[in-house]
Amino acid sequence: MTSLPKNKPKKKLGLVIDLDICVGCHACAVNCKEWNAGGHSAPLTDIDPYGAKPKGVWFNRIHTFEAVHEETGRSRTVHFPKSCLHCDDAPCVTVCPTGASYKREEDGIVLVNADTCIGCKLCSWACPYGAREYDEDEGVMKKCTLCVDRIYNENLPESSRAPACVTTCPAGARHFGDLGDPSSTVSKIVAKRGGVDLMPEQGTRPVNKYLPPRLKNIDKQKDQSAPRMLTHQDDSSDGAGLLARWVDKLLS
Amino acid sequence: MSFNPFETVKEEVDLSVDPADEVKTTTCYMCACRCGVKVYLKDGQIRYLEGNPDHPINKGVLCAKGSAGIMNHNSPARLQKPLLRVGERGEGKFKEIEWDEALDLASQWLGDIRGRDPSRLAFFTGRDQSQSFTGWWASQYGTRNFAAHGGFCSVNMAAAGLYTLGGAFWEFGEPDWELTKYFMMFGVAEDHDSNPIKTGIGKIKTREDAKFVSVNPSRSGYSAVADEWIGIRPGTDGLFVFSLIHELLRAEKIDFASLARYTNAPWLVIENPGGADDGLFLRDEAGHPQIYDVREGLVKNALDAEMTPAMAGRYALPDGRNAVPSFELLAKRYLDKQYAPEAVADKTGIPAATIKRIAAELAEVAFEQEVVIDTPWTDIWGRRHEKMIGRPVSFHAMRGISAHSNGFHTCRAIHILQALLGSVDVPGGWRNKAPYPKAIPPGPKPAGQTTSANTPLSGVPLGMPTGPEDLLVDEKGEPLRIDKAFSWEHPLSAHGLMHMVIRNAWAGDPQKIDVLFMYMANMSWNSSMNTKGTMHYLTDKDEAGNYKIPRIIYSDAYDSEMVSFADLVLPDTTYFERYDCISLLDRPISSCHGPADAIRHPVVKPDRDVRPFQDVLLDLGARLKLPGFVDDKGAAKYPGGYSDYMVNHERAPGLGPLAGWRGEDGKEEGRGKPNPEQIKRYIENGAFWSKPFPPDQQYFKAVNKGYLEYAHHMGWVANIEPIIHQLYSEPMQKFRLAAQGHGKRQPPERHRQRIEEFFDPLPIWYQPFEEDFLQGEDYPLHALTQRPMHMYHSWGSQNAWLRQITSWNRLFMHRDTAKALGIEDEDWVWIESRNGKVKGQVKLITGVNPQTVWTWNAIGKQKGAWRLAKDAPESTKGFLLNHLIDELLPAREGGKRYSNSDPVTGQAAWFDLRVRIKKCAPEEIEETAPQFSALGVPPNMPDVPKIARFGKKLTGTPKGAPVAAKEWIAHEGEVMSALRRESQKRILRQAQDEANAGKKNSHGEKNK
Amino acid sequence: MHPAKSVIFFTTASGAGYGLIVWLAMAALLNLLPLEAFFACVAFGLAFVLIIGGLLASTFHLGHPERAWRAMSQWRSSWLSREGLAAVLSFAPMGLLALYWLWPEQALLGQISGAMAWGSIIMALLTVFFTAMIYASLKTIPAWHSKMTVVGYLVLALMSGAMLMALLTMLWGYDGAGLFSIIALVFVLLGLGVKLLYWARLAGKKITSTAGSATGLADFGAVTLVESPHSTDNYLLEEMGFKIARKHAAKLRKIAVLFGFLTPILLLGLAIMLENSSLQIVLLFAGVMLGGIGLVVERWLFFAEAKHVVTLYYGEHAI
Ligand SMILES: Nc1nc2c(c(=O)[nH]1)N[C@H]1C(S)=C(S)[C@@H](COP(=O)(O)OP(=O)(O)OC[C@H]3O[C@@H](n4cnc5c(=O)[nH]c(N)nc54)[C@H](O)[C@@H]3O)O[C@H]1N2
Ligand SMILES: Nc1nc2c(c(=O)[nH]1)N[C@H]1C(S)=C(S)[C@@H](COP(=O)(O)OP(=O)(O)OC[C@H]3O[C@@H](n4cnc5c(=O)[nH]c(N)nc54)[C@H](O)[C@@H]3O)O[C@H]1N2
Ligand code: SF4
Ligand code: SF4
Ligand code: SF4
Ligand code: SF4
Ligand code: SF4
Ligand SMILES: [Mo]
């Protein structure tokens, strides 16, 4: 475990996040905090929680962006949740001097061992995505665990054996599964929707994928005449002609 | 652990920690959506909250607020003990008193005025969910001065719906999320149906055959994911909808058959200008409305089964009067060219081409993409229909429409559009939720025309007037209620005008009161207009040095701003510590699939000297010996407290607060004797009861025989009669006739013109009042608030987690608008209205109507409240737009100042606000304004931690008996995963379809 | 990046310490200086104080300093681990070299002195190299992700070490003082060159990542942040979101160049030209002190000017 697992994990558990649906409600972020506050990385300490500069440990955060296309003038608002992407080539693991940061061989989940972490913060410098969370109070690094203490948990009903952020998302914008298996549902969804990597140029090969917003009906709009525009049945400006037609309308 | 510097220590992760000693289910109360929640308890503390997968509302999901409920429950702002004011009002200086003393005091104050004049008590409640109980209390007490928050919330929406369709958007209806193909949402940021809307939008968005259009000046939240966003100019939706109607009428894309059968479109309206019956429906002796039968060539009962009604034409009546089908009036009005797309484009900010296209899309989906369900059903006339045919266009609207002074008419306009498209309660359309639809308008009428000492009201204080005779006015036509509800100023104010109570009580207009009793409403801050003024009204004294509002009793669970303004504070529990009842008698959790109701029950014990407010109210009722609260011997009727009431109270024989497991054996639903085991049954079932309608009762409920019979059994409708949609509103015309000088009750002269103008039986559009009054003055921008999805009004800011997401708000503004004003991103600005100015920082965006600025609602806090530090961003940078909103309109000719509300319903016109923006001088930046002196903290409040380590002690395997968590496995619903599987299947199905069709993938554009 | 005091102190101080060791070892190898115990005490003492002080300082910013020993385990993959290991191992040759200088007559020490000198040079440079690689290996901070970072750390360590060496030898009035002054001058000039190149690279650096690539939304247009996940700063922003105004940075660069390089060049140049040893001492002392200030400012800027790609999620457009 000094470095990344020698045998690249075949199973790549991760999340697929649908930016076409995410309404930016923060439910995933808060339920994540709630589950994990008492979970593997407990607590998720909050500093100055009722004061001037509240800040705490969160494994998942929601940003909101606008993307404005200069040429077409098309503009979109996109809510953007982000947690650890459980990268295949996770730099946060290789920089760690203690081995506290590691990637599980079984399923590719990247975790921190709070018993051996020295709190040097280097992993947080190495992660491009801001997915490492330093707990000032405990002096150790924490991060999204992919709810490792949930997804295999035999004490939970099966419907709960998925990451908290996934089960709680009211819009259904989050999916969880094995992205190493091309026949898995999540892999198929990624293929169908053209799922993307964040900052591929960083070479981290993230497992989590993002489904870009769809332009489903927007292109139709440019063509204001689609669908078939309505034809007016009468052109008298006050509708007198129409009313006359309707006098004889037989309805029962 | 060994000391080997070269060792890589492998972590042993416990993958199967038992997370709970016990899992209980109850109902969330972080907002009004009322989801089912599973509470994981460890060592007697709440460790985790999870959506209940079996629950009909949220099916396993939980929103941000719901998940953060733990932190509200653990908030250091929780009140600890009853408080009696010792300082001046507004200072927040209190001493703790015992409950006995508190209740003695309250019953002494209340008993005293009840013995003199019960209407000297004003009892107003806020965001609570027990209005059928509090309203009943008020009526047994005998005061007409009661209402809940509806008047400042969305009564336009409720009233417009109830006077038109017998149901409304708000909490009374929802789109047919599974089947709809065209979903149009007007002015919604979040709404009460918080989770179902999100789930529904998620469903629509993952279907290829559905489109979601959001009409909203702002492109945040739901609008961000809409397939089309229409950035309308605030207050102009009426024009937009009329224009759509104009287009549909001209193209004859109207569901004439449905109009003829299910609406009053063919009903004959008397044309008798100047007559007392002008504009009323032609009725026979029995009072039945009439139609003109084209085939038979005669006028006949509109409710007959067989008819061929005329939709247009003028018909001479034997007595010489003329009558026209109301549809003709409707069509004439909206065919007028003032509603042509080109004519409204400028005012609405929507290009004519877009309006035309949307009309065409609506028509296409409604009339060419019918949804057919193979379920036979029988209509109220006994006719069997082999199939359920639906027009899969659905609408939803909320406060963006209703919180304007023209909101009532705009809401009605949307309902009329629905009816014209034939999409009301049909497959794929918009559907009623039980117990709706109700008769139009539903009963009862408001009670309280007379009140007397020690005497209950003749009915409940709130109701639905159908004509001037139902108003609560004195012989001069002046208002009787403290909020002037049901007066000529706002005749159809079905939910009262909570936003006017404090101002009117201070002014003694129309009367003085002795005690203001409030529950769960932060009235000194974010739920009032003109906050600064309101603080003044609450603290102002007369010459003798007495407060103008002599006594204020208030129940809150937390140290909100309002607490500091109370004389006597009755501390409530948190929602995990008490019984509550989410009843079909008031605002149930039903969906369109069937009725449902729910309870809360204590899942943890209070660790403070607090009492559930409902228990307190029962106790007060018993101490005051209110009828219904005591038995014949004068002993408390519900000694067991609220749970006792929930089980044993009967509003009518067999009808109680809870519908499930009634009858002695618990086998009856809706009606039945009280069942002592009822609460137990609820708890076993996950704290709710729900019953899906059989398939043949799912749709067309207004005329569905089976459904109406069931509704009658359940006590939702008084009679088994068709509910005919009222496009043309006769009650409106009755008020107008009174203004024209007809009838026994006529408005005082100064209100006549206003009544005549705004009581149009068909929807009209007019410029919102504020904008109209300010014509010529330089307030060029609309200013709006929106609810953040993760905060509930003011009560989210005490939450250690939620406030990390938003602890201060900015003013969002269009880049181009800012540029023209020389304002840059993050600049501090003054936001000025005719009522004052506030200071804040701007954030420039493109997704907003350029004539509109907006901010998050209720983030700004008064210093010292909610146990937040004095330098918390909520009070140093966060601002409240409410300071800018006047509760009164500028004086009209004659000096009359109406409330800043809709003239029909009294709905608070929050979103009429007009402002101008000015860059702050450099020395003015860094702190918001206005600032107020910091509120005091009640005695013996718990310490505020500098570091919070929630969860630290709740890890690992529990100490208690670890059985109940596992019980859940047996009980497991699997609904949640089913829900997700469903959405995944949808996506994959499309993939398959597309592969088959050889189509480019929908994101093909990206790969170019 | 947030310029943490402990890390600034650590890198500058231990850099100077290792630099001094390199030059001491050189001197030993080339027999440039007499093996005087008092000098050895002071020179090696100073070097060790700087190195150990720096290392200690670096543990201050650890959440768990008491576990610092664990940091050596991952030398196979982690530059930080390698640095830690090298730092610890380097004490062996450095210590032995110091002992040899104190007791040159000790035969065993004498025998291995050459090897220890080489060992010290290699280990000192290696440690500085590893330190530099911690920064240079971070793709997430494009300003650092370059050979220039490594060259800079090595040259500045040798430069600050040489200046100390020049001052010390001058204090003792050794013959080598002149040579070390010239070496110091050369390295200050080199240092200036390296730093100017570093800044030139920063100015001309191509964009690595954008808000578009960070969000995957590049195809939809220019991406700007509308709302941060939190309305107050979180750990990420405090640690990685440090922002320095362009004007401020320019001023500090001038200070760094003036104190760290130009003044030492002037002072060293003067010292080389002058004959008066006490004046030389004053000049060199001033050079060391002012240069030290300059180097601290340089190191502060090294952090403050470096942008982390995570800020693309918090309002930055391109890095
Ligand atoms: N500018 C602007 N102002 C608005 C609006 C807007 O859109 N814009 N919206 C308006 C609307 S629609 C509404 S409904 C109002 C809402 O305004 P309010 O009804 O005043 O809502 P809150 O601010 O949440 O205040 C409710 C109070 O209930 C207390 N409370 C919470 N839980 C409990 C409990 O369990 N028991 C008791 N006894 N008290 C409890 C809280 O501490 C708080 O003091 O705001 C209105 N104000
Ligand atoms: N998270 C959360 N949920 C809540 C609440 C909460 O405080 N927080 N409060 C609850 C309560 S009490 C209520 S009443 C509901 C209200 O739920 P919403 O009706 O969703 O309330 P608002 O947030 O006021 O949203 C009003 C929307 O209308 C838009 N708008 C304003 N003017 C116009 C207009 O003229 N035309 C159009 N088309 N749009 C316009 C605004 O941009 C905004 O998006 O939410 C309930 N749910
Ligand atoms: S819960 Fe779902 S919809 Fe809400 S922010 Fe998270 S991903 Fe988006
Ligand atoms: S996202 Fe960051 S923390 Fe997670 S694996 Fe990748 S580099 Fe590591
Ligand atoms: S902070 Fe902890 S996990 Fe991160 S690199 Fe340092 S020791 Fe490893
Ligand atoms: S997978 Fe678990 S830990 Fe990770 S973001 Fe989701 S809820 Fe949080
Ligand atoms: S929507 Fe409302 S009731 Fe449902 S979980 Fe969220 S806060 Fe609770
Ligand atoms: Mo509301």
**Segment A32-66, tens digit of pLDDT:** 999 999 999 999 999 999 999 999 999 999 999 99
Domains of chain C plus CATH, in order, are: 5-314 (1.20.1630.10)
- State the smallest CA–CA distance between residue C207 and chain A in angstroms: 11
| H or E segment and range at residue B206 | none
SS3 label, residue C314? helix
Ligand 6 proximity of A144 Cβ (cutoff 6 Å): yes
- State the smallest CA–CA distance between residue C318 and chain A in angstroms: 12
| H or E segment and range at residue B860 | none
DSSP single-letter state for residue B924: G
CATH 3.40.228.10 fits B167-437, yes or no: yes
Asked whether the CA dihedral B859, B864, B868, B869 is positive or negative, the reply is: positive
Alpha-carbon distance B400 to C7, whole Å? 54
Contact B835, B503 (CB under 8 A): no
CA A82 – ligand 6 centroid, Å = 10
Ligand 4 proximity of A27 Cβ (cutoff 6 Å): no
Q: Which of residues 128-167 of A touch B (CB under 8 A)?
A: 137, 148-149, 152-160, 162, 164, 166-167
The answer to whether the CB atoms of B950 and A30 lie below 8 A apart is no
Q: Which amino acid is at B278?
A: D
Contact B224, A76 (CB under 8 A): yes
Contact B867, B77 (CB under 8 A): yes
Over its C-alpha atoms, chain C yields an Rg (Å, rounded) of: 22
Atom index in ligand 3 nearest the CA of residue A169 equals: 1
Q: If chain B, 1008 residues long, is cut into consecutive pieces of 10 residues, what is the mean pLDDT of each piece?
A: 84 92 95 96 93 95 98 97 97 97 98 97 90 96 95 95 96 95 97 96 93 98 97 98 97 96 97 96 96 94 94 92 97 96 98 97 96 97 96 98 98 98 98 96 95 96 97 97 98 97 97 97 96 98 97 98 98 97 94 96 95 97 97 94 96 95 95 96 96 97 98 95 98 98 96 97 97 88 98 96 98 97 97 97 98 98 97 97 96 84 98 97 90 95 96 74 37 46 72 65 39
Contact B197, B395 (CB under 8 A): no
CA B72 – ligand 1 centroid, Å = 15
**Segment C230-288, tens digit of pLDDT:** 999 999 999 999 999 989 999 999 999 999 999 999 999 999 998 888 899 999 999 99
Q: What is the pLDDT of residue B449?
A: 96
> Phi/psi at C151 (nearest 5 deg)?
-55, -45
Q: Which residue CA neighbors atom 47 of ligand 1 most closely?
A: B527
Share the mean pLDDT of chain C.
Answer: 95
Asked whether the CA dihedral B324, B330, B335, B336 is positive or negative, the reply is: positive
CA A63 – ligand 3 centroid, Å = 11
CATH code at position A33: 3.30.70.20
Domain ranges, residue A45: 13-215
The token duo for B711 is 């509704």
B640-654 burial string, b = 16+ CB within 10 Å, else e?
ebbbbbbbbbeeeeb
Q: Which amino acid is at B987?
A: I
Alpha-carbon distance A101 to A111, whole Å? 6
> Phi/psi at C68 (nearest 5 deg)?
-55, -30
With respect to residue A133, please indicate whether it lies within any of the assigned structural domains.
yes
Interface probe with C: pick from A19, A70, A85, A120, most Cβ of C within 10 Å: A120
The answer to whether the CB atoms of A224 and B354 lie below 8 A apart is yes
Nearest chain B residue to C84 by CA: give it: B5
Residue with tokens 């050459």: C114
Q: Which residue CA neighbors atom 7 of ligand 4 most closely?
A: A127
Domain chopping of chain B, boundaries? 83-142+514-697, 167-437
The answer to whether the CB atoms of C226 and B843 lie below 8 A apart is yes
The token duo for B341 is 């797309």
CA angle B548, B554, B557 (to 5 degrees): 150
Atom index in ligand 2 nearest the CA of residue B398 equals: 19
For B649-694, where are the alpha helices, taking DSSP H only? 678-684
- State the smallest CA–CA distance between residue B831 and chain A in angstroms: 24
Alpha-carbon distance B554 to C1, whole Å? 51
Alpha-carbon distance B790 to A29, whole Å? 10
Ligand 1 proximity of B795 Cβ (cutoff 6 Å): yes
Helix and strand numbers, DSSP H then E, in chain C: 11, 1
Alpha-carbon distance B979 to C168, whole Å? 77
Alpha-carbon distance B650 to B636, whole Å? 16
**Segment C42-100, tens digit of pLDDT:** 999 999 999 999 999 999 889 999 999 999 999 999 999 999 999 999 999 999 999 99
Q: What is the pLDDT of residue B961?
A: 45
Whether the pLDDT of residue A222 is over 80: the answer is no
A16 vs A232, which has greater pLDDT?
Answer: A16
Q: What is the pLDDT of residue B974?
A: 39
Q: Which ligand is nearest to the CA of B569?
A: 1
Please choose, from the candidates B295, B337, B388, B450, the residue with its C-alpha nearest in 3D space to the C-alpha of residue B701.
B388
The answer to whether the CB atoms of A170 and B194 lie below 8 A apart is yes
DSSP single-letter state for residue A239: S
Does C232 contact B at CB distance below 8 Å?
A: yes
**Segment C67-81, tens digit of pLDDT:** 999 999 999 999 999
Nearest chain A residue to C85 by CA: give it: A97
Strands B83-85 and A75-82, bridge-based pairing: unpaired
Strands B146-147 and B121-125, bridge-based pairing: parallel
Of B327, B802, B1002, the CB nearest to A214: B1002
Alpha-carbon distance B289 to B312, whole Å? 16
Alpha-carbon distance B881 to B794, whole Å? 13
With respect to residue A19, please indicate whether it lies within any of the assigned structural domains.
yes
CA A166 – ligand 6 centroid, Å = 8
Alpha-carbon distance B24 to B33, whole Å? 19
Sequential DSSP letters for A55-124: EE--S-EEEEEEEE-TTT--EEEEEEEE-----TT-HHHHT-SSS-EEE-TTT--EEE-TTT-----HHH
Tell me the chain A residues in contact with residue C314 when contact means C-beta distances shorter than 8 Å.
63
Does A71 contact B at CB distance below 8 Å?
A: no
Q: Which amino acid is at B168?
A: A
Q: What is the pLDDT of residue B824?
A: 97
Alpha-carbon distance B614 to C221, whole Å? 55
Please choose, from the candidates B9, B6, B20, the residue with its C-alpha nearest in 3D space to the C-alpha of residue B968.
B20
With respect to residue A220, please indicate whether it lies within any of the assigned structural domains.
no
Whether the pLDDT of residue A225 is over 60: the answer is no
Interface probe with B: pick from A192, A223, A233, most Cβ of B within 10 Å: A192
pTM of the predicted model as reported, rounded to 2 decimal places: 0.96
With respect to residue A56, please indicate whether it lies within any of the assigned structural domains.
yes
Q: What is the dihedral of CA B792, B795, B796, B800, to 10 degrees?
A: -170
Instruction: Label residue A229 by pLDDT band (50, 70, 90).
Output: confident
Does B5 contact C at CB distance below 8 Å?
A: yes
Does C226 contact B at CB distance below 8 Å?
A: yes
The answer to whether the CB atoms of C140 and A125 lie below 8 A apart is yes
With respect to residue A239, please indicate whether it lies within any of the assigned structural domains.
no
Please name every residue paired with A143 in a beta bridge, in sequence order, or none if there are none.
A132
Tell me the chain C residues in contact with residue B1003 when contact means C-beta distances shorter than 8 Å.
none
Tell me the CATH class for B83-142+514-697: alpha beta
Residue with tokens 């979601």: B212
The answer to whether the CB atoms of B984 and A175 lie below 8 A apart is yes
Ligand 1 proximity of B613 Cβ (cutoff 6 Å): yes
Asked whether the CA dihedral B518, B524, B526, B527 is positive or negative, the reply is: positive
Q: Which amino acid is at B618?
A: L
Q: Which ligand is nearest to the CA of B33?
A: 7
Interface probe with B: pick from C225, C227, C238, most Cβ of B within 10 Å: C227
The answer to whether the CB atoms of C310 and A201 lie below 8 A apart is no
**Segment A52-111, tens digit of pLDDT:** 999 999 999 999 999 999 888 899 999 999 999 999 999 999 999 999 999 999 999 999
Atom index in ligand 2 nearest the CA of residue B793 equals: 7
Tell me the chain C residues in contact with residue B9 when contact means C-beta distances shorter than 8 Å.
70
The token duo for C162 is 């040489």
Interface probe with B: pick from C78, C219, C220, C231, most Cβ of B within 10 Å: C231
Question: How many domains in chain A?
Answer: 1
Q: SS3 string of B931-996?
A: CCCCCCCCCCCCCCCCEECCCHHHCCCCCCCCCHHHHHHHHCCCHHHHHHHHHHHHHHHHHHHHHH
CA B525 – ligand 1 centroid, Å = 9
Please choose, from the candidates C220, A52, A58, the residue with its C-alpha nearest in 3D space to the C-alpha of residue B847.
C220
Beta-carbon pairs below 8 A across chains B and C = 29
Does B301 contact A at CB distance below 8 Å?
A: no
